[in-house]
Amino acid sequence: MDVGVVSRSFPQLSNKETAELLAKKGFKWTELCFSQSDSNYWVYNGRSDMDSLSNERSTEIVETYRTNGIEITSIGVFTNLLEPNEKENEKNLTYFERLMEIASINNVPYVSSECGFIPSRRGVNSDTYESAFQTLVENVKWLADKAKKYNVSVALEPCVLDVVPSAKRMDDFINQVGSDRVKVLLDPANLIANNSEEEMFSYLTPHIAYFHGKDRKVNDTYGRVIGDGDIDWPLFFNMYHKYTEGVPFIMEYVNIDNFCDIRDRVVKFDEMAVMLK
């Protein structure tokens, strides 16, 4: 099975060093977050000043990976799409659009994000749950229009900690946005507390852009590396091959010391999945 890894697993390396390492170790895909030592722009749940990242520089970075045989599945944005301050929200959307433009220039098919959260207010809060969801719908409708302009798609990552906490609500969310430019970045660790492995594929298969690979205990707040949680990976990979063969599977939560070991776990689980057929 082909495996990828997010570029932000290697913040201490340059893009050239990261690309060469991934190629040497036999990885196929990456989610590019401009998080390397020579392109340190990535801010989780926020934004950075992108003025110094020119179109030409973005192309140099993308081609560094491609010349090493690494396919870039997505540009990782992961800004806050639930910002209640109107001016800050506009800045977040403008930041997102700039990364759409970079993806378009470089023929990268997806730009990815979680819905975002307000610090100290992450999770399902009864007083804001419905209004936050509507804010997300409106913001993603705006992004979907821009995505059509740039010929890219938005891949949104649902999570049990956020206002899209289940596969069913993600399916409903896509229907409410009403655009084929909105896809799913499916991270099974983010849904395992609310959905079985079968339910994830049942609701989301038609919408899946690519996968994040990490694990989670059902009652954990945050994720773990693959194999350290409660996901039934042989079952998951059995359904992966049945419904989404060839869709990029890109590991998260790994680092320069363990990413090959965790990839070997993926390969072993995948071999076990064949026995379920």
- Measure the CA–CA gap between 169 and 152, rounded to whole angstroms: 23
Cα dist from 207 to 153, 166, 171, 229, 270, whole Å:
11, 14, 8, 25, 23
pLDDT band at 253, cuts 50/70/90?
very high
Q: Which is nearest to 36 in space by CA: 90, 79, 76?
A: 76
Average pLDDT, the chain: 96
Q: What is the pLDDT of residue 122?
A: 87
Q: Is the predicted pLDDT of residue 226 greater than 70, yes or no?
A: yes
- Measure the CA–CA gap between 256 and 18, rounded to whole angstroms: 10
SS3 9: helix
Structure letter (DSSP) for residue 128? T
What residues form DSSP beta bridges with 16? none
Mean pLDDT of 23-37: 98
Q: What is the 3-state secondary structure (H, E, C) of 195-255?
A: CCHHHHHHHHHHHEEEEEECECCCCCCCCECCCCCCCCHHHHHHHHHHHCCCCCEEECCCC
What confidence tens digit (pLDDT) does each residue in 147-206 have? 999 999 999 999 999 999 999 999 999 999 999 999 999 999 999 999 999 999 999 999
Other Cβ atoms less than 10 A from the Cβ of 50: the count is 16
Q: Which is nearest to 215 in space by CA: 224, 207, 206?
A: 224
For residue 271, the surrounding DSSP H or E stretch is: helix 259-274
Concatenating the DSSP letter of every residue in 132-193 gives HHHHHHHHHHHHHHHHHHHT-EEEEE--TTSSS-SHHHHHHHHHHHT-TTEEEEE-HHHHTT
Phi-psi region of 151 (alpha: psi -120 to 50; beta: other; left: phi over 0): left
Lowest mean pLDDT of 46-60, 120-134, 168-182, 240-254, name the range: 120-134
Calculate what percentage of the chain has a pLDDT beyond 70: 100
Q: What is the pLDDT of residue 277?
A: 65
pLDDT band at 120, cuts 50/70/90?
confident
Q: What is the pLDDT of residue 111?
A: 98
What residues form DSSP beta bridges with 114? 157
Q: Is the predicted pLDDT of residue 92 greater than 70, yes or no?
A: yes
Structural tokens at position 237: 């990979």
Mean pLDDT of 136-140: 98
- Measure the CA–CA gap between 135 and 109, rounded to whole angstroms: 25
pLDDT band at 274, cuts 50/70/90?
confident
CB 155 within 8 A of CB 111: yes
Structure letter (DSSP) for residue 194? T
CB 78 within 8 A of CB 114: yes
Mean pLDDT of 43-60: 95
Q: What is the pLDDT of residue 121?
A: 82
pLDDT band at 110, cuts 50/70/90?
very high
The answer to pTM > 0.95 is yes
- Measure the CA–CA gap between 1 and 233, rounded to whole angstroms: 13
